Amino acid sequence: MTFMDEAIFLLEPILKHGWFLKGSKPSCPVNWSRGKECVFGALSFGNGGKLISKQAKKINSENFIEYVQCLLDKNGSQVLFVDNAPWHTSYKTSGFLEEVRDCIEPMYLPPYSPELNPVEPGWKVVRSKLANRLFENTSELRESLGKALDEVQLNINEQRYLTGQIS
- pLDDT per position as a tens digit, 59-88: 999 999 999 999 999 888 889 999 999 999
pLDDT at residue 95 greater than cutoff 70: yes
pLDDT score of 147: 95
pLDDT score of 166: 61
pLDDT score of 106: 94
As a whole number, mean pLDDT of residues 16-45 equals 83
Give the pLDDT band of residue 165 (cuts 50, 70, 90): low
At the topology level, CATH places domain 2-17+25-162 in: Nucleotidyltransferase; domain 5 (3.30.420)
pTM: 0.84
CA nearest to 60, candidates 89, 98, 97, 103: 89
Summary mean pLDDT of the chain: 88
